[in-house]
Structure 1
Amino acid sequence: MRRDVDWSTLRRSALAVAVVVGVAATLYVAGDAFAADAAHGDGHGGLGLTPEKLKDLGWRAMNFAALVIILVKFLKKPIVDGLRGRRQSIREEFDDLESQRSSAEGEYQQYASRLSGLDDELKKMVETAIAQGELEKERIITEANEAAEQIKRQAEMAVANAVAEAKVNLKLEVAEQASAMAEEIIKKNLQPEDQSALVEGYLAKVGGAA
């Protein structure tokens, strides 16, 4: 923080400047007086510094010093107010910049945290997707195995049914062919008297049963 203006030191400095300027003005006027005296001297070797000239120099020096003091006195408040206002403005600008810097740092930390959380979230999403993919693969493999087993069982049952049906058909066909062959043989080898004997025997059985 800047230190306040030391006006006592400023006044002393102004007075010192006034004295120096007054002395310089006195020497300047004195030099002019010496030059004029040397050019227009009366030959007596006098300096030509009359009391009126010395009084005039003194008044001029006092007037200059008074002017400096008046300027310092009346310009003190505007200068102080201006310096204070400028210092307040600089402080406000500095506070605003500090606030902006803090806000920017906070936003940066927030974005960095979001990016870090986003990386973690993406990692979790990838891990979840991989786990779900593994589960889906296992489910598909299990369903495929079950479907294959079911198809196998159905094929085995179809084959067994086909074999059983073929056996039945074969037996029926063999029985029919055997019956036809037996009938053919009987027809060829059976004599009329044999037919009469068979009829009588059949009638006897029927009558006995009755």
Structure 2
Amino acid sequence: MKKWITSAAIFAAAFFPRAALAAEQAPAEHGSWLLLMFFAINFALFVWVLVHFAGPVLKKFFADRAVTIRTALSRAQSAFAEAEDLANKAAARMAALAAELKKLADELEEETAFQVGKVADLAKSTAERIHRDTEMSSSALSEAAKRRVRAQLAESATSMASDLIGRNFQPSDQGRLINGFMDQLGSGDRP
């Protein structure tokens, strides 16, 4: 408790020097050494009180503030390094994506050229097949038409021969044909 009272008296003397001087009201002397010594002691007490009581608090405040600033600076530097790293990675990835895009475009162009060539070959072979099929179809149609013409000619010849035979064939002609056929069978010759 005694320390508290002493501290309060020192604070009162430091902050209220007029109250400390009011106890003895000496005539105002200008340029008194005693007055100068009183102000010097008062200032020294004030500085001592500030250093003794406010010094550790200020020291702690500035130390904490320095730690906070160093921590913030360290975080900012690590964030900056991380941001630079991310930017470098993003630039590398963009370059890789650009290279991959070029590669895909080249592959697509090659595949398109291949497919166009394949379609052209397929169209050429289809045209050749259609040409061959057309030739085969026309030749088959021609052969079928020839067979029909031959069949009609044979039918016409048969009907004409039948008419001619029917008009000009006699019973004696029939006996002669049968005898000639029998003679050929007997001799082993085929008609």
- Is the pair's TM-score, using the shorter chain for normalization, greater than 0.5? yes
Which residue number in structure 2 is paired with residue 105 of structure 1? Answer: 84
Q: CA RMSD in A?
A: 3.2
The answer to whether structure 1 residue 120 and structure 2 residue 116 are counterparts is: no
- Equivalent in 170, 173, 179 of residue 198 of structure 1: 173
Distance 1:206 1:109, change over 3 A: closer
Which residue number in structure 1 is paired with residue 149 of structure 2? Answer: 170
Q: Distance in 1 between matches of 2:181 and 2:79?
A: 129
- Equivalent in 12, 29, 35 of residue 33 of structure 1: 29
SS of residue paired to 1:33: coil
- How do 1:142-157 and structure 2 match up within 5 A? 142-157=121-136
How many residues are treated as equivalent by the alignment? 158
Q: Distance in 1 between matches of 2:154 and 2:40?
A: 164
Q: TM-score, normalised by structure 1?
A: 0.60
The one-letter amino acid of 1:201's match is R
Q: Which deviates more, 168-177 or 134-143? A: 168-177
The one-letter amino acid of 1:92's match is T
SS of residue paired to 2:170: helix
Q: Distance in 2 between matches of 1:167 and 1:148?
A: 28
The one-letter amino acid of 2:41's match is N
Q: CA deviation at 1:67?
A: 0.8
- Equivalent in 35, 43, 48 of residue 57 of structure 1: 35
Larger radius of gyration: 1
The share of aligned pairs that are identical, in percent, is 20
Which residue number in structure 1 is paired with residue 9 of structure 2? Answer: none
| Higher relative contact order (CA closer than 8 Å, sequence separation 6+) | 1
Q: TM-score, normalised by structure 2?
A: 0.65
Q: CA deviation at 1:160?
A: 1.3
Q: Distance in 1 between matches of 2:172 and 2:80?
A: 135
